[in-house]
Amino acid sequence: MTTTFALRELADFLKAELQGDPESEIRRLNTLQDGGTGDLAFLASNAYRRYLQDTRATAVILSREDAVGFTGNALIHPNPYVAYAKVTALFQPVSGEAAGIHPTAVVDETAIVPASACIGPWAVIESGVQLGEAVIIGAGCFIGANSVIGDNSRLHPHVTVYQGSAIGQRAVVHSGAVLGADGFGFANEGGRWLKIHQLGAVEIGNDVEIGACTTIDRGALGNTVIGSGVIIDNLVQIAHNVRVGDGSAIAGCVGIAGSTVVGKHCVLAGGVGLVGHIELCDGVTVTACSMVTSSIATPGVYSSGTPFDDNRQWKKNAIRFGQLDEIYRRLAKLEKQPTK
């Protein structure tokens, strides 16, 4: 499959100002460094500015400021990264999913499946499920009883949705994700763990993306709630009764323990851990691999951990970490000594 656009078509699509030959043929997106004939590149970060003058890409998306002195074909846009994001939609291979239910799918007769929905091979749709218009259920997905999935949502192959889950419109859920498994709730009775049956559900807003092998547990009593416009990467664990506010972003390998509340427009970088029962206000960013052990009430950027170092040097310092309180006390004692 080849998609070809005239540069002017892309300028129209992006509402961008066109510089150069409007009939240049664009067949692919590429980086400034690797771009060649037929490629549209973009400049969205100063780090890549050095590649601009020598790029062999047919055209470049850039800001008015960066366009100064650039004589090649260009699409001038106030936010080149947003423009690039928008144009990727045009170059995405058309997914071959035709509407209809694959003959091998097992669909309960009480499930509501519009004619515009697409259900892949080996999918299982249990009783009382409601699918919206144009929903795509990939091969081998399991949709538990009474779950609801909104219009235009897509579940890639091998997604598991436990009973009673609610997913909004335009969701994208990647393979291996598990929504609505039991939260990790047990009471200890004399050394024995007694299961607390998890009676809540999972509730996911509109325009949410959920990465591969990410797990979002059902609530113990109330629901686990993911707001609208939230984006979640791969291998993320979201425990029971967590609430994530609209527009937040959660990168890979993050773990959020039970009942924690993440505000709106927060960013949790890769590997972050949040303990349970805390609250992050709106607009909190946590840097990679940091652990947050108490609530944060002020927007801003937060971190924990230590910088990496050569192992031998690190060991010397790490040992001293275990003496830090002693170091502090010895320092304080010295300070109290009379000086001349």
- What positions carry a catalytic annotation? 240
Region from 13-21, 49-57, 67-75, 178-186 binding a second copy, contact rule CB under 8 A: 178-186
CA distances from 223 to 166, 168, 198, 339 (A): 10, 15, 10, 64
Per-residue interface string for the shown chain with a second copy, residues 73-112, x marking contact by CB under 8 A: ------x-xx-xxx-xx-xxx--x-----x-x-x------
Among 6, 13, 175, 299, binds a second copy (CB under 8 A): 175
Smallest gap, in angstroms, from Cβ of residue 89 to a second copy?
6
In the complex with a second copy, the residue whose CB is nearer, 5 or 162, is: 162
Q: Is 20 in the site for a second copy (CB under 8 A)?
A: no
Give the gyration radius of the chain's Cα atoms. 26
The amino acid sitting at 160 is: T
- Within positions 125 to 164, which residues make up the interface with a second copy, using CB under 8 A? 126-127, 138-140, 142, 144-145, 156-158, 160, 162-164
CA distances from 242 to 76, 147, 154, 171, 263 (A): 42, 19, 23, 19, 11
Q: Is 291 in the site for a second copy (CB under 8 A)?
A: yes
Task: Measure the CA–CA gap between 291 and 307, rounded to whole angstroms.
Answer: 14
- Within positions 220 to 239, which residues make up the interface with a second copy, using CB under 8 A? 221-222, 229, 231, 233-235, 237, 239
- Within positions 249 to 278, which residues make up the interface with a second copy, using CB under 8 A? 249, 251-253, 255, 257, 265, 269-271, 273, 275
- Among the listed residues 300, 296, 298, the one whose alpha carbon sits nearest the alpha carbon of residue 287: 300
Sign, CA dihedral 132-214-119-122, equals: negative
Among 54, 65, 109, 325, binds a second copy (CB under 8 A): 325
Count of positions on this chain that bind a second copy (CB under 8 A): 133
Which two structure tokens, joined as six digits, stand for 332? 């304080």
Smallest gap, in angstroms, from Cβ of residue 308 to a second copy?
4
Q: Is 334 in the site for a second copy (CB under 8 A)?
A: yes
Task: Measure the CA–CA gap between 157 and 173, rounded to whole angstroms.
Answer: 9
Region from 15-23, 53-61, 69-77, 318-326 binding a second copy, contact rule CB under 8 A: 318-326
CA distances from 209 to 15, 170, 289 (A): 27, 9, 22
Q: Is 18 in the site for a second copy (CB under 8 A)?
A: no
In the complex with a second copy, the residue whose CB is nearer, 23 or 89, is: 89
Chain centre distance of CA 97: 24
* Number of residues assigned to the chain: 340
